Amino acid sequence: MVKINVDGKPVEVEEGQTVLQAALKLGIYCPTFCWHEKLEPIGACRICLVEIEKSPKLAVSCITKAMEGMNVHVSSPKAIDGRKGVMEMLLVNHPLDCPTCDKGGECDLQDVAYYVKNDRSRFGEPKRRFLTSARSTFDEKQIGPLMYLTMNRCIACFKCVRMLKEVAGEYDLGAFGRGVFTEIDVVKDQPITNEFSGNTVEICPVGCLTSKPFRYAVRTWLTQKKSSVCGFCSDGCNLTLWVGGDKIFRATSRKNDAVDEGWICDKGRYGYDIVNHSDRIKTPLIKKNGKLEPATWEETFDLISNKIKETKDKFGPDAFAGIGSARCSNEDNYLFQKFFRTVVGTNNIDHRVAFKRLLPSPSSSSIENLYTMTNSIEELEKTKMIVVIGCDITSEHPIIGLRIKKAVNNYATPLVLINSKKTKLNAWAKTEILPKFGTEVALINSLCNAALNQKADQGFKDWVKTYSPQKVSEITGVEANAISKLAEEISSAERCIFLLGRDVLSHPQNQELIDAVYNLAHLTGALNKPHSGVNLLWEYNNSQGALDMGVLPDRLPGLTPLNQADYLQNVEKVWQSKISTKPGFNIHQILDGIDKGEVKFLYVMEENLVSNYPDRKYAQAVLAKAAFSVVQEIFLSETAQRATVVLPAASFAEKEGTFTSVERRVQKFQRGVRPQNQSKPDWQIISMLALWMDYENFNYDSTEKISTEIFSLVPSYLGLDYKKLGNNGAQWNGFVSKKEAMTYSLKKTDLKPIQSEQGYPFILTTGNLVHHCGTLSGYSENLNLVVNESFCEMNQQDAEKLGIKTNDEIWLESASGKIKTKAKLSSNLQPGMVFVPINFKELEVNLLMDKDNLVDWIKISKV
Amino acid sequence: MILSEKTQKKILAEKNKYPQPKTAILPALYAVYEEFGYLSNETMKETGELLNIPFLEIVEVASFYTMFPKKPTGKYFLQVCTNLSCALLGAEDLVKHLEEKLKVKTGQVTPDGVFSIGRVECLGSCGTAPMLQVNNLHFQEDLTKEKVDKLLEELKKS
Ligand code: SF4
Ligand code: SF4
Ligand code: FES
Ligand code: FES
């Protein structure tokens, strides 16, 4: 530690910290432009000048290291005068077009000019001008689908390009030329579209970079700021929503160092406009003569409650089924399952609609099926090796991707990517392993074989020996010595974090693959070393929460088995109701049940079954057969269109509650705007419906009341305090300790080779695009400005053989269906594989899927 | 590739010289400049590919250094230093003189392709200001209009 004095006050800072940081630590204001907490300081703007005793010149505080005994003056006349001079220079060329500048009111240059209070300039020369054309008035140009540049306002702090290069590793915005004519710009024919582009707008100190959706939309002082949490991917970035009336004007980051470090991706930043989309369902709807007609809430509650009573009397509680949502809050999901378990009396509930092969329900107490992220995002910085398996991290989990880049850049953490296709993150990888799709289990077994030690008994050893590097090399297409080398690296890593993503979750051998990774982690010690472990990354903003709240056919809240007597008793007491211990139908059994006529009543909360179920035709057919279906939704989705009753639900920005992020972080989000039209928060709809049916213990008048019930009942959430979740959230823990992990028993996870299908030579894989998330973001007009067209990515050589070029229209055809899209040639995919994004509802990609085939084989032809 | 094999080889050799690949950008651009006399988007793109450095970064570096012309130049590219010392000793007059004499503006090439005029920042030859350099190679120092005329004659002849 170093002791210094700033303005006469003593302060201690760590060795290597700057004078500026010392001042900030004391709460002493010192203006800055080019300095940013998360970027390397470069000392470019000089506005942070301070006086240091015994130093002949004023010092640039953001790059001057604090030295023992320094006497620093931020507020001395000399320092103030120095900063006045710098400000005068900065304003020489700045246009001072504040009256028409969109940044007005939140501009650092304005604020600092006001602070230094110098209203004279000694420079009368014409100002430097970058003209986009001789006749332009504003001198601004669009540099990307969502960004504008007004170069004349730039003060060359370089924060924008530094953020992109240092943090995101993106090179689509640069600083060209030199001196006073330094120009921020894109290069020819390459608009800025990287997924973190919006952060540059947020950190630009002046009105040089502005975003298309927000510029000239509102003056910031007319808006209110609401603390929110992103409603797209599961990373759980903290957002500030800037609202006015019923409209959301923009979303910016709300720094949470444990999660996002103040950066957010463009989905979270620009996707808020789904809330104000004109296609929102406006009123409740009831199907009459095959057409959905507007109705009142009273009518619909009457209809639904009568139907529930009638169906229950006639067919019993198991004629009901409910589908919850990975998008809804913990409170929504908690009430949803409580409704089904108490008011209806069945366990026929699930929310895992997109998976063909369901993993067994997770448990929070046994290492055997702890399907969650066991480490935290922050720990990625502390581990010594990161192994990503089956995940395009940049697209699925942008912010985890940033943390991985940070680990690689700042700590030289070796990154291993085991993916059947190349992803953007491969540029950061030390080791890339590209096994053939479907052979991953053999690869991991082979790594276990090479990493064998005394933790394995003879039986396991004998079995795993059959996965010799040579043999597995033939199966997977990965070189034998690459396998041995990787096993060696993982074994010798002091700490190691495994991240398993979407392609593992939806893998035909998902469970075996996860188990195999657990075997490897156990053998190499990653299960019990600090900052090490196996992490399953669920996809959506509240995937983890929906699991935790027990929207599962065989789990009570807290991932507790139905028959765990002591807990059951407790729950029954709180819920004042008997609970069935008979496991209910999972998602597939629910649909089969409707198909067979056993399930008469289906209730879907914010889940687009038709688009997300891995067999579209079947989902459509089943919905048509459902005797009575209620769909609670934001938009009139393909699923809602087929419902008997549609209830307008409020989006994440119109309600408050908590989400549990991928790293088990329970985070509170505030309501941004009033629910649009007649929509209501999901929890409120359920509670009103239950009250309508006279279930008094559903009398929840606020989210807080539900959260409080959750936090006093659900094991892993015990003791959380709704009021205290505001800023950083809290992670639930309470799963197996590192010591217990030692008792893990190795499993024999055999490879089951996938069977090819005659006449259908390509394997279909799906996923999210960098700018979209599920089918919801497709409603975002902002995000659609970046990408709004689906495509089928395919291997270059495959395409050449078929005479297909990029942008050619092609048919994708499976035994189940046929869809048309455009081809995109790529060298990222191995021959025989194609990739189609799931984000565009027009492209009904699940028409190609058959729920009974774990692998979707297709053929491709030119239109 | 537009870059000749020789230039490509040179660039790849530079790439292996330094622990930081970025260090090779300048020497690589010199090689490109030597072959073409200027840097085009296409040649810079290829340089980036060879060095495995984003195109944008190559353009950034190239744009910082005024001695790399970004447009074709004449056989003799005359870059007049217009920085402080030279400016004080009449550099602007020299530029004007050259423009009049060659009947082209700064940044343009004479129709016969022999000359082009440019400006350059301080070349560290302030003691002999004003000065210009020919093709990034030869300094012409202590200049006067007469010396410039003589220089033009000589260059025309060679
Ligand atoms: S555009 Fe903004 S952030 Fe970028 S250098 Fe200029 S002032 Fe700084
Ligand atoms: S989509 Fe994910 S990474 Fe992007 S802002 Fe939202 S939570 Fe963060
Ligand atoms: S903030 Fe210190 S030099 Fe810019
Ligand atoms: S100013 Fe011209 S050489 Fe230095």
Asked whether residue A364 carries a pLDDT value surpassing 90, the answer given is no
A 183-222 residues inside an 8 A Cβ radius of B: 187-188, 190
Label residue A150 by pLDDT band (50, 70, 90).
very high
- What pLDDT does residue A505 have? 96
Do residues A319 and A411 share a domain?
Answer: no
* Cβ A786 vs Cβ A146: under 8 Å: yes
Of B41, B54, B60, the CB nearest to A176: B60
Task: Enumerate the residues of chain B whose CB falls inside 8 A of the CB of residue A187.
Answer: 41, 55-56, 59
Model confidence at A558: pLDDT above 70: yes
Q: Can you tell me the distance from the alpha carbon of A821 to that of A811, in angstroms, rounded to the nearest whole number?
A: 7
Q: Determine the pLDDT at residue A412.
A: 97
pLDDT score of A369: 73
Q: How many domains does chain A have?
A: 4
Mean pLDDT over residues B29-42, rounded?
93
Give me the mean pLDDT over the A500-509 stretch: 96
How does pLDDT run across A392-437, given as a tens digit for each residue?
A: 999 999 999 999 999 999 999 999 999 999 999 999 999 999 999 9
Q: What is the pTM of this model?
A: 0.93
Q: Is A637 in the same domain as A706?
A: yes
β-pair type (A533-536, A431-433): unpaired
**How do residues B107-156 score in pLDDT, each as one tens digit?**
899 999 999 999 988 999 999 999 999 987 789 999 999 999 999 999 99
* pLDDT, chain A, mean: 95
pLDDT computed for residue A136 by the predictor:
62
**Which of A496, A513, A536 finishes a domain?**
A536
Is domain B76-157 classified as CATH 3.40.50.300? no
Q: What letter would DSSP give residue A832?
A: T
The answer as to whether A328 is a domain residue is yes
pLDDT digits (tens, 9 = 90+) for A624-662: 999 999 999 999 999 999 999 999 999 999 999 999 999
Chosen from A187, A197, A426 to mutate, greatest number of chain B CBs within 10 A: A187
- Taking the CA of A42 as reference, the closest ligand is 3
Q: A859 to chain B nearest CA, in Å?
A: 35
Residues B68-80 have pLDDT tens digits of: 889 999 999 999 9
Cβ atoms of residues B105 and B117 within 8 Å: yes
Mean pLDDT of A357-377: 85
In a domain, A820, yes or no: yes
Q: Within 10 Å of residue A120's Cβ, how many Cβ atoms?
A: 6
Q: Do residue B59 and residue A176 have CB atoms under 8 angstroms apart?
A: yes
Strands A818-826, A792-795: pairing is: parallel
> What is the extent of the structural domain holding A81?
2-92
Tell me the chain A residues in contact with residue B59 when contact means C-beta distances shorter than 8 Å.
174, 176, 187
pLDDT value, residue A413: 98
Boundary of a domain, candidates A689, A715, A741: A715
Q: What is the mean pLDDT of chain B?
A: 93
Q: Nearest CB to B56: which of A174, A177, A178?
A: A174
CATH number, position A382? 3.40.228.10
Q: Are residues A640 and A662 in the same domain?
A: yes
Say how many C-beta atoms besides its own lie within 10 A of residue A639's C-beta. 26
Q: Are residues A530 and A548 in the same domain?
A: no
Query: What's the helix, strand, coil split of chain B in %, to 5?
Result: 50, 10, 35
Are A453 and A337 found together in one domain? Answer: no
The residue written with tokens 């030579």 in the block is: A761
Are B41 and A190 an interchain contact pair (Cβ–Cβ within 8 Å)?
A: no
Share of chain A above pLDDT 90, in %: 91
What CATH number has the domain bearing residue A62? 3.10.20.740
Ligand 2 atom nearest the C-alpha of A231 is 6
What pLDDT was estimated at residue B47?
97
The reply to whether A181 touches chain B by the CB within 8 Å rule is no
Phi, psi of A475 (to 5 degrees): -70, -45
Q: Given A77, A92, A107, which residue is the final one in a domain?
A: A92
- The residue to mutate among A232, A663, A839, having the most atoms of ligand 2 within 8 angstroms of its beta carbon, is A232
Residue B12 clears pLDDT 70, i.e. is over it: yes
Q: Which tens digit of pLDDT belongs to each residue from A795-810?
A: 999 999 999 999 999 9
Question: Which ligand lies nearest the alpha carbon of A663?
Answer: 2
Note the ligand closest to the C-alpha atom of A203.
1
pLDDT tens profile A89-147: 999 999 988 998 999 999 999 999 999 988 888 998 888 888 776 666 567 899 999 99
Q: How many residues does chain A have?
A: 863
Q: Specify whether A394 is located in the same domain as A518.
A: yes
Residue A355 CB neighbours (<10 A): 17
pLDDT value at position A844? 94
Among residues A644, A635, A753, the alpha carbon closest in space to that of A277 is found at: A635
Question: A467 and A551: one domain?
Answer: no
Contact B60 A175 (CB under 8 A): yes
Q: Across the interface, do A178 and B60 touch by the CB < 8 Å criterion?
A: no
The alpha carbon dihedral of A424, A425, A429, A431 has a sign of negative
Collect all residues with Cβ–Cβ distance below 8 Å to B32 and sequence separation of at least 6: B3, B7, B11, B39, B43, B44, B47
* pLDDT, tens digit, 9 for 90 and up, residues A732-771: 886 666 667 778 889 999 999 999 999 999 999 999 999 9
B135's tokens = 């093709």
Residue A107 within any structural domain of the chain? no
Evaluate whether the domain defined by B5-64 bears CATH number 1.10.10. yes
> Which residues does chain A have within 8 Å of residue B68's beta carbon, measured at their own beta carbons?
none
Q: How does residue A528 score in pLDDT terms, banded at 50, 70 and 90?
A: confident
pLDDT value, residue A679: 97
Question: How is chain B split into domains, by residue range?
Answer: 5-64, 76-157
Secondary structure (DSSP) of A479-491:
-HHHHHHHHHHHH
Residue A744: what pLDDT? 86
pLDDT-derived band at A224, boundaries 50, 70, 90: very high
Per residue in A38-52, pLDDT tens? 999 999 999 999 999
Interface size A-B, in CB pairs within 8 Å, comes to 27
Q: Report residue A362's pLDDT band, with 50, 70 and 90 as the boundaries.
A: confident
Is the pLDDT at A669 greater than 90? The verdict is: yes
